[in-house]
Amino acid sequence: MESIESLEQRIAALTGPDCGMESFNLPDLLRMAELQSIQDTFADAMGVAAVITDVSGRAITRLSNFSPFCEQFVHRCETDEATCILRHPGKLRPDADGHIRYGCLGGRLWGGGTGLYVGERHVANWLMGQVLDETYADADAEADARRLGVSLDRYRAGLSGIARMSRDRFEKTRQALGLIAGQLSRMALQNVRQARSICERERAEAALAASEQRYRSLFENSPISLWEEDFSQLRRALAALRAEGVVDLDAYLKARPDALRQLVGLVRVVNVNRSTLDLFEADDKSQLYGGLDRILPESTFDALREELLAVERGEMFEFECVNRTLSGREINVLIKSSLPPGGDDAWERVIVSVYDRTRQRQRERERKRMESRLLHAQKMEAVATLAGGVAHEFNNALFAINGNLELLESRVPPDEKTRRHMTAIFRSSKRMAHLTAQLLAYAQGGGQPQRIIPVNRFIREVLKLIQHAVNPDILIETDLTEDLPPIKGDYMQFQMALSAVMLNAAEAEEGRGDGWIRVATRLRRVAADDITEGAEDAARRPAYHPAHYSGHHPGLVPPEITPGDYVCIHLSDNGKGMDEQTRQRLFDPFFTTKFQGRGLGMAAVYGIIRGHGGWIGVDSMPGEGTHVEMCFPAAEPGDEADFMARPDPEGDDPAPEGDDPAPAG
C-alpha cells in the first residue's frame, strides 16, 4: 500500500502551480508498486521478458522474467549488441501507431513494446522481448554458435530459457501489451485531471475560507453596528401575498398594520458585531438574536414597510428612525439595508448597517436651542432697552405731574368735589408709577441699592401684605427651611416679584372650592455638573404633578448660572395650569392672556431675578396646576448681616387695579 507521504508527494507534483503536462513523469501519475506487479504478472503469463523505461531509456521498473542469454551470447556480436534494448533502450521510439519493434540474431530473437502517454505527451515505454521465433532450428543454432564463438552445447543450454512463439502469437501478445498500456495511459490522464480538480476545489475552498475570515474580521471589528438578518421566511410570505393577487403591496400593508407587524416578525437576526452590542447595550449576541420587536418602537413600522418593499425590489434602502436599546433607552439611528451579491434569490443574508445619530441629533437640537436662546436674549435685550427708555421718560413726566398736583392741592379750595377729582388723579399717577417701576425692574433687574434679606421673614411679610387680595377660601401653606442663609438684593423688587407670582397663583384658583397654594424654601448647592449643557438635559427634568409635590423640585439650571449656594423659593398651586405655548411665552414683555392685562408682571419678575444673578423655572400642565421655582444667590458670609428695614408700603397695593402680574397659572 502506498504511504501517505508518497501520495502527498504525487499530488503535490500533479497540482503544483507551475506544473504542465510536459513536467509529469510516470511515477508522478501511477503507483509504481502496482505497476511493477502488473508488469511481472504480464511477463509470467506471456512468457516474455518485460521492463518499463522513461523516454530516455532509463529503467523505472525492475526487469521481469529476463534471461541472462543476451548478456552471455547475443552481446558478443557487435551487430546484435547494437540492437539490444538492455544496452541501448534510448534508441527505441514508438512508431506512428505507438508501437515498438526490434529483433536480434538476424531477426529471429524478437522484441517489442508500446508507449505510455498522458494526453499526447510520451512519458514512458513498456518493453517486452527475449522471444525466439519458433521456426528457429538446430541448424540455425549451430550457425549462430559458430558466429558467436561459443560451444553449441552451452549455446543450446542458454536457448532453453528463452520462450518460443509464432509470429502471430507474438503480435497478439504485443497488441495485448498495447491495450494494457493504453488503459494505463488513460488512467494516468484521469489521475492528472482528478488531482487538478481536487486541487482547484481545495484552492477555491481555501480562498473562500480566507475571504470569509476577512469578512468576519471586517464585520466584527467594524466601528459601525452591523447586522446579518435572514429574510427568507419574509420572502416566502411576500410571494404568497403576490400569489393571492396582492398587486399594490404598499397600500395593502398601510391598510393592515397587523399584517405588517407579522411580516416584520418573520425577520430573524442571525449575527451582530461587537459595535452592535455596545450600541444596543447587550451583554452577548444571543440577546439580540431572533426577532426585532425588542428594539423597534411602533413609530418605526412605516419606515420598515418601505424597507421591505425596497428589499423585494432588490434595492438598497436607508431611513432614519428611533430604536430602543435593551435597557429601554431610545436612540436616533440611520439604517441601511441591502442584499449582498449572490443572496438575492434566497434572502437568507441581508446586511443591515445601523449608524448611531443620537449625538448628532442632540447637537442639532442644542444648536436650535442656542439659536432660540440667542434670539430670545436679543429680543429681551431690545425690549429691555426700549422699556428702560420709556420708563425714564415716563418717570420724568410723572415727577412733573406729581409735583404740580401737590402744589395745586395746597392752593385749591378744600371742597369735597375737588378732593374727589384730586384723589382720582393721585391714584392714576400711582398706578402709572407702579407700571414705571415694573418697566424699570424688567430693564434694570437688580440695579437698585441692595441689602441683606432673610428669606423666610421676607416671605411672611409679603404674605401678610397681599392677604387682602387673596380669596380667603384658598388655603395657603408654608414649608420654610430653617437656618437658611440670607439673600442680597433690592427689597422692593423682591416684594414685587413674589407678590406677582403669588397673585398669579391665586387667580388660577378662581372657581375652585379646594384651591391651595404652597410656598417652600430650600437651600440648593449648584455644582458644575448640575448646569444645563444641552437639549438632552431636558430628559433629566422630573415629571411634574403638583399633588405629588413634596417641597423640593430642583428643575434645570440655566448655563449662565455660576456654581454655588442658592436659596430657592418654590411656589405651587392646583389651579388651571397652562399649555406649553403659553409657558414658552410666559416672560415675554406685553404678552398676556387677560382682556385688560398689560403683560408686564412676569416680564418684570424675570428681569428682577435675572438682574440679581438668579433664575426662575416654571412647570405646568393644563388642569394640573403650576410650580414656580425662583432661586437667588445666597449672600456671602462677609456681607453685612443687618436685618431688613422694610419701607412702609403706605397701603399701596403691590398689584394695582388693572395690572397683569402674569397669565393665570
Instruction: Give the highest mean pLDDT range of 55-64, 443-452, 524-533, 602-611.
Output: 55-64
Confidence of residue 639 (pLDDT cuts 50, 70, 90): low
Top-confidence residue, 600 or 242: 242
Predicted local confidence at residue 492, as pLDDT: 81
% of the chain beyond a pLDDT of 90: 14
Average pLDDT over residues 21-31: 71
Q: What angle do CA 506, 443, 432 make, to 5 degrees?
A: 65
Q: Tell me which amino acid residue 502 is.
A: M
Q: Is the pLDDT of residue 659 over 50?
A: no
Bridge-based pairing of strands 163-165 and 121-133 is parallel
Burial of 63 from C-beta contacts in 10 A (0-12 / 13-18 / 19+):
middle
Top-confidence residue, 192 or 138: 138
Average pLDDT over residues 307-330: 81
Q: What angle do CA 220, 224, 229 make, to 5 degrees?
A: 70
Predicted local confidence at residue 662, as pLDDT: 40
Lowest mean pLDDT among 63-77, 105-119, 420-434: 420-434
- The set of cell numbers assigned to 516 is 391651595
Predicted local confidence at residue 378, as pLDDT: 66
Residue 148 φ/ψ region, left for φ over 0, alpha for ψ in the -120 to 50 degree band, beta for the rest? alpha
Top-confidence residue, 366 or 431: 366
Any idea which residue has 448660572 for its cell? 561
Confidence of residue 36 (pLDDT cuts 50, 70, 90): very high
Predicted local confidence at residue 442, as pLDDT: 54
Top-confidence residue, 308 or 481: 481
Lowest mean pLDDT among 263-277, 366-380, 609-623: 366-380
Predicted local confidence at residue 345, as pLDDT: 64
Predicted local confidence at residue 630, as pLDDT: 92
In the predicted model, what is the mean pLDDT of the chain? 78
Confidence of residue 5 (pLDDT cuts 50, 70, 90): low
Predicted local confidence at residue 658, as pLDDT: 39
Q: Is the pLDDT of residue 568 over 70?
A: yes
Average pLDDT over residues 521-529: 88
Q: Number of helices (H) and strands (E), helices first, in the chain?
A: 19, 17
Q: What angle do CA 393, 586, 492 make, to 5 degrees?
A: 50
Total Cβ atoms within 10 A of residue 42: 19
Helix axes 491-508, 416-444, angle to 10 degrees: 100
Lowest mean pLDDT among 41-45, 190-194, 633-637: 190-194
Lowest mean pLDDT among 8-22, 395-409, 532-546, 576-590: 532-546
Top-confidence residue, 344 or 183: 183
Predicted local confidence at residue 44, as pLDDT: 93
Predicted local confidence at residue 523, as pLDDT: 92
Average pLDDT over residues 572-581: 87
Q: Is the pLDDT of residue 585 over 60?
A: yes
d(CA 353, CA 405): 81
Q: Are 133 and 108 in contact (CB under 8 A)?
A: yes
Predicted local confidence at residue 588, as pLDDT: 74
Residues 6+ apart with CB under 8 A from 436: 391, 394, 395, 398
Q: In terms of Cα–Cα distance, which of 352, 111, 353 is closest to 231?
A: 352
Top-confidence residue, 558 or 66: 66
Top-confidence residue, 439 or 217: 217
Predicted local confidence at residue 168, as pLDDT: 92
Burial of 579 from C-beta contacts in 10 A (0-12 / 13-18 / 19+):
exposed
Distance in Å from the first CA to the final CA of the chain: 101
Lowest mean pLDDT among 26-30, 100-104, 163-167, 377-381: 377-381
Residues 6+ apart with CB under 8 A from 135: none
Any idea which residue has 411656589 for its cell? 571
